[in-house]
Amino acid sequence: MEKSIYQKICGNITDGMLNPDFMLDEEDADGTEIRWAPGAMDGVSIYHMLPSGLDTAQTKKMARALKCAASGNFPEADVLFFEWTKEVRAITCVDELQQYVIAHARTLDAENVLHTAVSMMLYSTHIECVKIGLELLELFGEPQENLKEIVRRIGLYDEFTIFAVWNMRQWENGNTEIFDLAKKVHSWGRIHAVERLEPETDEIRHWLLTEGTVNGVVNAYSSLTCWQKSGAEEILFGSLTPEEYAGITTLIDGLMDEGPVPGISEIENAEAVLLRYLELAPKYHLSADAYDVISTIKHWADDEDVNLPYVSAACGQILNTKRCEEE
């Protein structure tokens, strides 16, 4: 008998971390040759696609699956949800799914809906059905500890992190849980967790400054979020440690890349920020990557639509030094 997705994940956890080379087989693949990284397709949907909503036929299929779940026929509900998610990805219909359950709360047996959620999380072999389970579980608020542990483990896989985070936001210590999870995922999962992490403590703010934007996708996705939540600008105009300056270098690198999401254009006093960053540069050891960031800033400042000559000149002074040449 094929192992469930949850069993596969649990079998690949070492010291609380998911083995870095673990990847689920794409049982739900659509037959194309393109293989998406875990969480990538959902990430693209969130950041780059407008929600399309469900059509009448898709809504009817969803309702049929939910009614089957509410009747207590859990294996059949899993099958119906799997057939439904061949047409509709779970990430695109979370609101419709949850709103339907809430609107029909009097006719849908809540205990059976909860049982279905847990059943799909624990026993389903279908990626999208595990997500549906997590979306349904979210409706029931803070669960018992054994269910929390299931969510924590499933969330270690980048494909499911955002669904785990949505659940954790319902928990009493939810922000701490999201922070713990964010440190354990390193791709799309980190991007989603960082976006929903509140900077409640100095520890969280420091981590956002130095590590939050580092992921295996594109740093730019989280750079503006980390800049704002970490208080990077205030830190920049204070007394920085080498680690903090390196963290700001990484953030600025992401801010300069506005291909996937807005970045430096969202910083109101970008010129003053960059001049301060460049003013401090001689005080720290700069890596080759840091000089590359400064080169990127210069190209941006020289663009005719930007035209920041003082920033460009400051970059040029640094790039023309012997230290830069040696590095």
Q: Which residue ranges make up each domain of the chain?
A: 1-198, 200-327
Q: For residue 32, what pLDDT is reported?
A: 53
Q: What is the pLDDT of residue 260?
A: 85
Q: Is 307 left (phi over 0), alpha (psi -120 to 50) or beta?
A: left
pTM above 0.85, yes or no: yes
Tokens coding 26: 């794409």
Q: What pLDDT score does 209 carry?
A: 98
What local confidence, expressed as pLDDT, does residue 48 receive?
85
The per-residue pLDDT for 50 is 72
Q: How far is CA 240 from CA 60, 120, 318, in A?
A: 58, 49, 19
pLDDT of residue 100: 95
Instruction: Look up tokens 């800049």; give the residue.
Output: 227
From first to last of its 327 residues, what are the pLDDT tens digits of the chain?
Answer: 789 999 999 999 999 999 999 999 865 445 555 678 898 888 888 888 877 778 899 999 999 999 999 998 888 888 999 999 898 999 999 999 999 999 999 999 999 999 999 999 999 999 999 999 999 999 999 999 999 999 999 999 999 999 999 999 999 999 999 999 999 999 999 999 999 999 999 999 999 999 999 999 999 999 999 999 999 999 999 999 999 999 999 999 999 998 889 999 999 999 999 999 999 999 999 999 999 999 999 999 999 999 999 999 999 999 999 999 999
Q: Is the dihedral of CA 156, 258, 230, 219 positive or negative?
A: positive
pLDDT of residue 45: 87
Alpha-carbon separation of residue 4 from 12, 18, 120, 128 (angstroms)? 13, 16, 9, 13
Amino acid in position 23: M
